[in-house]
Structure 1
Amino acid sequence: MNIPIALIDAFTSEPFKGNPAAVCLLQEGRNAAWMQRVASEMNQSETAFVVPREDGSYSLRWFTPTVEVDLCGHATMASAHYLWESGHLPTNSQARFHTLSGLLTADLSFEGIMLNFPAEPAVPVTAPEELIQGLGLIPRAVSKNRIDYLVEIDSEDTVRTLQPDFAMLSRVEARGVIVTSKANRGSEYDFVSRAFYPATGCEEDPVTGSAHCALAPYWQRKLRKDDMLAYQASARGGELKLAVVGSRILISGKAVTVLNGHLSV
């Protein structure tokens, strides 16, 4: 049995930048153990499994090399890109995905792909000692949502040069830790961030759409702006255009396919 699978870089228009995701198109659902084995074999931060439904929408699940996750932006963007590019979905049709985080949609425009995701605002909390030791600094502010810790630190330069203790961060009771600051004066960006997920088998995620479900409402309040341009300052890097619309976050970017193939299992 040959099962289509592609490697797609999301949040970039250039190959080998942004965040790579594997996208596996199934004709019927497979069990979680099989999907986890495929994700481990692909060894990307996320592998997406897409299954068509009778109403023209799709079921979508995401797996890191070690666990299934509830929400993933870049692999959703990659999945929509794959469906349009491969002709499984007309480019003028909305991609609709049923996921563990509810219905997520993607639309294609001349600016790229726009995801419609739920806001995941974080609330202030006391930082656990593992978080402080793992980052090796005293944060300006620490908050948490149902998924991640969100940590504001003093400057963009500190965000970019931070060298976390991943073994210590893996002990933090959350999916991961997002570190952020306001962008440097004169920058085209409103804020910058990095995202660390050692507990899920991914020390640093290159560009994390789901993290911006927390970052967007956080910086909306601080900057008093509904529309923002963000940069995730990983080694690969990625740009995200954001809009806060009520309880939803519109996350826009581009994607490019770097590999098409088939699973032979």
Structure 2
Amino acid sequence: MHTQIVDTFADGRFAGNPAAVVRRSDFPSGEDMQAEAHRIGLPTTAFVVPVAPAEYRVRWFTPYAEINLCGHATIAGARCLFQDADNAGATRLTFVSENGVLFAERVGDLVAIDLPTSALTPCDPPPGLLAALGTDAVGCAAAADDVLVELRSVDEVTAVRPDFAALARLPFRGIIVTAPGEAGIDFVSRTFFPSLGVDEDQVCVSAHCKLTPFWAARLGRPVLNALQLSERGGRLEVHDAGDRVRVLGTAVLRPQGSGRH
């Protein structure tokens, strides 16, 4: 078993979102993968198994639960796998999960992944949501698994101090808070997943499958620059392609033995 830690969406200012990538010849039991993800203790651990040239099966685990999609850990996995001799010269990798197929591409120094768009339906804020976030809302919309709350400004997003225990009791996988950006950033966000054992995700790619079409429609442009305002922070470039969203970001390998945090 080989484990590598990667900081995705990191740059000189922002530390990005860390993920662990565990490469195996086959998957261990779900219980063993969950225990390993808990031991590693990062927001997500991706387990990858080769099945064909440039094609891998993938499963993702937070420290407390298996999840059906994790974009940043897939970018981390691609960054590691592009280094392998078996992928010399490859510019595209395929990741097959129980939730569908993802494609990762090498784009200069960045890694891009292509994911399905997740539709949003405008709604009233669910009971207890705004109180748990400690804020007011401009608008609210729901997806199949997450709820999105629009605020007025970057400062309001930064100021959110959630009651995580209250958020965990709500019937959602995650809560996305967003607002218009400034200084060359089109929109900002923060994402909370206390029901999965991740109070605040540092940079959440799957949330941008909702955020990208939401802001592309508002701003009238398909290519946007995004910033996640978590403690570590991270920059993303996102492309709205109708039924798909393309996300590009950095992926920085940590030196072996450098620690998990």
Whether these two folds match at TM > 0.5 is yes
1:96 and 1:174 map into 2 onto residues whose CA distance is 29
State the SS of the aligned residue for 1:212. Answer: helix
User: Percent identity of the aligned residues?
Assistant: 37
Structure 1 residue 140, shift from structure 2 partner:
1.0
In structure 2, the partner of 1:230 is 226
In structure 2, the partner of 1:148 is 146
Q: Is the 8 A contact 2:17 2:232 kept in 1?
A: yes
TM-score, with length taken from structure 1: 0.93
1:26 aligns with 2:27: no
1:139 and 1:100 map into 2 onto residues whose CA distance is 35
| Aligned residue identity for 1:213 | C
Two-structure CA RMSD over aligned residues (Å): 1.6
More relative contact order in 1 or in 2 (CA 8 Å, sep 6+)?
A: 1
Q: Is the 8 A contact 1:8 1:259 kept in 2?
A: no
| Aligned residue identity for 2:252 | V
1:15 and 1:189 map into 2 onto residues whose CA distance is 14
Deviation per residue, 1:111-158 (Å, 9 max, x gap)? 511111111121112222221211112211111111211110111101
Structure 1 residue 55, shift from structure 2 partner:
5.0
**1:42-53 matches, cutoff 5 A:** 42-53=40-51
Deviation per residue, 1:203-236 (Å, 9 max, x gap)? 1111111110000011011111101000001111
In structure 1, the partner of 2:158 is 160
Q: Is the 8 A contact 2:116 2:245 kept in 1?
A: yes
Say if 1:20 and 1:91 are closer, same or farther in 2 by CA, change over 3 A. Answer: farther
Q: Which moved more, 1:88-97 or 1:140-149?
A: 88-97
1:251 aligns with 2:244: no
In structure 1, the partner of 2:238 is 242
Q: Is the 8 A contact 1:13 1:255 kept in 2?
A: no
1:24 and 1:15 map into 2 onto residues whose CA distance is 27
Q: Is the 8 A contact 2:53 2:87 kept in 1?
A: no
2:88 and 2:60 map into 1 onto residues whose CA distance is 23
1:201 aligns with 2:201: no
Unaligned runs of 5+ in 2: none
Q: Is the 8 A contact 1:9 1:16 kept in 2?
A: no
Unaligned runs of 5+ in 1: none
TM-score, with length taken from structure 2: 0.94
2:85 and 2:27 map into 1 onto residues whose CA distance is 21
Aligned residues between the structures: 257
In structure 1, the partner of 2:80 is 82
1:130 and 1:67 map into 2 onto residues whose CA distance is 24
